[in-house]
Amino acid sequence: MESGPKLRPMTVEPQGSTPPARSVFGDAVPRTPAARLGVAVVVDLVSAIVTGELKPGEVLPPEGILSQQFGVSRTVIRESVKRVEEKGLLTVAQGRGTSVNPPSTWNVLDPVVLSALVDHDDSLGVLDELSVVRASLEGSMAAAAAEQQTPERAAELRAAYADTVRHADDLDAYNDADAAFHYTIMEQSGNRLASNITRILFARARESNRFTGIPQGGVPPETLDEHKAIMEAIVSGDPADASAAMMNHIALAWARRRPDGPKA
């Protein structure tokens, strides 16, 4: 008897035919070149782990079984498992098989892992955590930006803020201006690590309708007021006010957009 988690049964194509790749969920994956089939297998395995279909401590079926289930070669399975292991979701141990790791080891900034977390975030808990992390990182960067203000930087930030006001009636243009406003502050902070982490989180979150919210009558005036408070605190060189204004804005903006949050 094979050890490992019980995956949903998958149809095996007759001998001599070219079977489509099949996901761990049993769904057919469209035919694609071998390299891209590996990407599809990686995405499916990551999704199965993130959603809990494959639980921490469980052992994956042997390569031969996975190869048959996905309809790809053992080489593709081997390379795909290696990629998932590099993301921190699996551990390959000689003689013991490949086991699923607990969430504490996952590289949540990896694009595939982060996408799976956001896509399957039915409770919005991941997006709640993302907003908390953003508030902390961007608050510290707003303070750093305030400490390093110059007339040129102040003019740059005022221009970025003015763009958000100018595009308040055009949601797509506003979203780009809003991102540019935040990115300007990140750049002025000089904190490359915090900036890179925040950009990764922010860029992926913006792809989720649950994060951006459903447009209802344009940009809330409160958002523009909060941007103005951030801008004024930074250009005046007040780190404490800049940090507080940024953290307050991110928390309130998410509360307004959150499906069960306040709408005012």
Distances in Å between the Cα of 155 and the Cα atoms of 51, 100, 127, 261 are: 46, 51, 33, 35
The residue whose two tokens read 């950009």 is 199
Q: 48-72, pLDDT tens digit by residue?
A: 999 999 999 999 999 999 999 898 9
Please tell me the least confidently modeled range out of 33-37, 81-85, 140-144. Answer: 33-37
For 88-94, which contacts have Cβ atoms below 8 Å and span 24 or more sequence positions?
Answer: 88/113, 89/45, 89/46, 89/49, 89/113, 90/45, 90/49, 90/60
Q: What is the pTM of this model?
A: 0.78
Residue 8: pLDDT band with limits 50, 70, 90: very low
| pLDDT score for 182 | 97
The pLDDT assigned to 172 comes to 86
Helix (H) or strand (E) holding 29: strand 28-29
> What are the phi and psi torsion angles at 216 (to 5°)?
-140, 90
User: For residues 35 and 6, which has the higher predicted lDDT (pLDDT)?
Assistant: 35
Q: What pLDDT does residue 210 have?
A: 72
Residue 146 has pLDDT above 50, yes or no: yes
Sign of dihedral through CA atoms 9, 100, 47, 83? negative
- Tell me if 60 sits within 8 A of 3, measured CB to CB: no
Written out in words, the top-level CATH class of the domain with range 121-257 is mainly alpha
Please tell me the distance from the alpha carbon of residue 157 to that of residue 123, in angstroms, as a whole number: 36
State what percent of residues in the chain have pLDDT above 90. Answer: 67
Q: Tell which CATH architecture fits domain 21-103.
A: Orthogonal Bundle (1.10)
User: Do residues 219 and 171 touch, judged by C-beta distance below 8 A?
Assistant: yes
Domain boundaries, the chain: 21-103, 121-257
* R_g (Cα) of the chain, nearest Å: 23
Helices 74-86, 63-70: axis angle to 10 degrees equals: 100
- What is the predicted pLDDT for the residue at 20? 47
